[in-house]
Structure 1
Amino acid sequence: MTSTSQRSTGADVGSVAWLGKTGRLAAVPTGRRTRRRLPHLLAGVLLVVVCVGGALWWAASTQGHISVLAIARPVSVGHILEPADVHQVEISAADGVATIPAGQAATVLGKPMATSLTADALLTPGSIGPSTIPAAGQAVVAVGLKAGQFPLELAPGAPVLVVLATASSPTTSLPAAQGSGDGLTWVATVTGVARAESDQTTVISLQLPSATAPTLARVPAGQVTLVMLAGGER
Structure 2
Amino acid sequence: MTSTSQRSSGADVGAVTWLGKNGRLAAVPTGRRARRRLPHLLVGVLLVVVCVGGALWWAASAHDRVSVLAIARPVNVGHVLELADVHQVEISVADGVATIPADQAGTVLGKPMATSLTAGALLTPGSLGPSTIPASGKAVVAVGLKTGQFPLELAPGAPVLVVVAASSSTTALPTVQGSGDGPTWPATVTGVARAENDQTTVISLQMPSGTAPTLARVPAGQVTLVMLAGGER
TM-score w.r.t. the length of structure 2 is 0.73
Per-residue deviation, 1:156: 0.3
Task: Report the identity percentage.
Answer: 83
Question: What RMSD over aligned residues (CA atoms) do the two structures have, in Å?
Answer: 2.3
Question: How do 1:54-69 and structure 2 match up within 5 A?
Answer: 56=56, 58-69=58-69
Q: Is the 8 A contact 2:156 2:191 kept in 1?
A: yes
Give the helix-richer structure, 1 or 2.
1
Gaps of 5+ in 2: 1-48
Q: Which residue of 2 aligns with 1:39?
A: none
Q: Which residue of 2 aligns with 1:5?
A: none
What do residues 210-232 of structure 1 show as CA deviations (whole Å, max 9, x unaligned)?
A: 00000000000000000000011
Q: Which residue of 2 aligns with 1:180?
A: 179
Q: Is the 8 A contact 2:114 2:131 kept in 1?
A: yes
User: Cα–Cα, structure 1 residues 166 and 63, in superposed 2: closer, same or farther, change >3 Å?
Assistant: same
Q: Which residue of 2 aligns with 1:115?
A: 115
Counterpart-to-counterpart distance in 2, 1:159 and 1:143:
15
Q: Is the 8 A contact 2:138 2:209 kept in 1?
A: yes
Per-residue deviation, 1:180: 1.7
Determine whether 1:83 maps to 2:59. no
What do residues 139-174 of structure 1 show as CA deviations (whole Å, max 9, x unaligned)?
A: 000000000000000000000000001253454x53
What do residues 64-106 of structure 1 show as CA deviations (whole Å, max 9, x unaligned)?
A: 2111111111110011111111111122133531111111111
Q: Which residue of 2 aligns with 1:204?
A: 203
Gaps of 5+ in 1: 1-48
Q: Which residue of 2 aligns with 1:163?
A: 163
Letter in 2 for 1:166: A
Determine whether 1:101 maps to 2:101. yes
Larger Rg: 1
Counterpart-to-counterpart distance in 2, 1:211 and 1:98:
31
Counterpart-to-counterpart distance in 1, 2:217 and 2:228:
24
Counterpart-to-counterpart distance in 2, 1:53 and 1:89:
27
Letter in 2 for 1:136: S
Question: How do 1:1-234 and structure 2 match up within 5 A?
Answer: 56=56, 58-166=58-166, 168-171=169-172, 174=174, 177-197=176-196, 200-234=199-233
